[in-house]
Structure 1
Amino acid sequence: MATAPIEPPQRLVSSLSSDPESPQRRWLAALPTLLQEQLVSWDLTLERVHSPGGRSSLVALVRQQDGTPAALKFPAPGRPHEAEALGIWDGWGAVRLLRRDETTGALLLERLHGAVSLRSLPEAKALLEAAGTVRRLWVEPGPDHPFPTLAGQTEQAVRTLSAAQADSPAAAPLLAEARELREALPTTATEHLLLHGAFRQGKVLAGERAPWLAVGPAPLVGERAYDLAALVLDRFEDLMAGSGAAAAARRRVAKLADSLDVDRDRLRDWTLCRAVLTAVRETAAGDRQRGELLLEFAAWL
């Protein structure tokens, strides 16, 4: 068992709020102690903290009492219900949840190959494997599920787009279209399934019991086209760097929609919404260049 204090990876530290009184910073300050106590409580041996790691959790590679490898994860505040979603999937298309601590939020997960994601594959093969993985996650959430819904998040999304429209006259028509679509789409959806919520190629890792398994969900309930829209946007910079990029973007929408029997128009509309919303957030976070690229991508659709 480890006795020396651990240092959270810099990527995690820099991605959290800088306000020392925020829940995220208080959680970060307590993290070394939480990790040490969890190792003792679950009789785990620490190998190392996964680095560079993610922006919303700390993952430590550990060994269980019998020597079986596992991953100990501490999600940052603001990412609820990951354990509930993993419990529903029970290893089908996603990493298997072995144990959870409701007090600390710790999750003990099966060990995957963290350095090998779908991003290591050629683009066409990666998209094919990603589509096959995400379709396994689209299941009924049950009548009393705890997950947020796309419809329930509409007001906040519309507020964000309206504020951006007022501040960005040049992009106002595109922002207005995204706002109108974000209001209308949840009201016309005919399916309400459990979604990964943050699906992309980098969230699908190589495993032992299955070739590819999804990790890091931000689960919510809605229609499949919402999850698939994130896959359309995945590695969009690579697509934009090629020739005929606008046509290639529209082909990607059509290909993914047809491969999973999703309506092309709804996938196009959700992709535009997600691209514009992400552009607004990236710009607000200081990455104006990426925000402008996302708006350009959305305009091609």
Structure 2
Amino acid sequence: MHGYLGLVIPVRRVEEPCVLKVSWTDEAASSEAMALAAWNGQGAVRLLASQPALGALLLERLDHRRSLNDVEIVEAVEVASRLLRRLSIPVPSDFRSLRLVTQDLCHTLPQRWEQYGRPMPQRWVEQACELAVQLGTSCGNLLVNYDLH
């Protein structure tokens, strides 16, 4: 199984069914391991071991036969809502604050816009930076999963 940035391979650790996830080594991969460790299997897959510098995570194997695609939309939304609330925990101190992330975004977004040949109107980039600053100063101090799938 693979996504855009990683490969997931079924493996076993002794008799325990697991998966090995290998992905690009970047800040997101490192943050993923830290977040999974913070959630400790409560609402998210359990992290068994990690080597973030290698982009490797050993994870518990989930039951692929259980999916929100198989239930009515109302039930799926209720389950996803409860899950998001469960994942919203106080952010551990070793994470970068959203305020710093949005500051970096505002600093690098115009450069990336230039680098990629100005693919959109400049006012969109400026508006994105303004919204990022607002978000960074008004957000809470929770660790949340923004890539729920």
Among 104, 118, 128, the alignment partner of 2:54 is: 104
Structure 2, unmatched stretches of 5+, are none
% identity of equivalent residues:
32
Does residue 14 of structure 2 align to residue 71 of structure 1?
no
Does residue 146 of structure 2 align to residue 186 of structure 1?
no
Amino acid at match of 1:108: L
Does residue 142 of structure 2 align to residue 198 of structure 1?
no
Among 63, 78, 92, the alignment partner of 1:128 is: 78
5 Å-filtered alignment, 1:285-300, equals: none
Higher helix fraction: Structure 1 or Structure 2?
1
Amino acid at match of 1:124: V
Q: CA RMSD in A?
A: 2.9
5 Å-filtered alignment, 1:26-105, equals: 51=1, 53-65=2-14, 67-78=15-26, 79-101=29-51, 104-105=54-55
Distance between the aligned counterparts of 1:135 and 1:186, measured in 2?
20
C-alpha displacement of 1:112? 0.6
- Aligned pairs, how many? 142
Distance between the aligned counterparts of 2:129 and 2:62, measured in 1?
39
Distance between the aligned counterparts of 2:85 and 2:6, measured in 1?
25
From the superposition, tell whether residues 187 and 111 of structure 1 become closer, same or farther in structure 2 (CA, over 3 Å): same
Structure 1, unmatched stretches of 5+, are 1-50, 204-301
The structure with higher relative contact order (CA 8 Å, sep 6+) is: 2
Name the structure 2 match of 1:152.
Answer: 100
Higher strand fraction: Structure 1 or Structure 2?
2
Distance between the aligned counterparts of 1:168 and 1:76, measured in 2?
27
- Tell me the TM-score normalised to structure 2 length: 0.75
SS across alignment from 1:107: strand
SS across alignment from 2:76: helix
Name the structure 1 match of 2:87.
Answer: 137
C-alpha displacement of 1:134? 1.2
C-alpha displacement of 1:160? 4.4
5 Å-filtered alignment, 1:212-227, equals: none
SS across alignment from 1:80: helix
Distance between the aligned counterparts of 2:103 and 2:49, measured in 1?
35
Amino acid at match of 1:195: V
Q: Per-residue CA shift, 1:101-135, capped at 9, x if unaligned?
A: 45634222111134643344333222211111111
Amino acid at match of 1:61: P
Distance between the aligned counterparts of 1:63 and 1:187, measured in 2?
44
C-alpha displacement of 1:60? 0.8
C-alpha displacement of 1:156? 4.2
From the superposition, tell whether residues 103 and 176 of structure 1 become closer, same or farther in structure 2 (CA, over 3 Å): closer
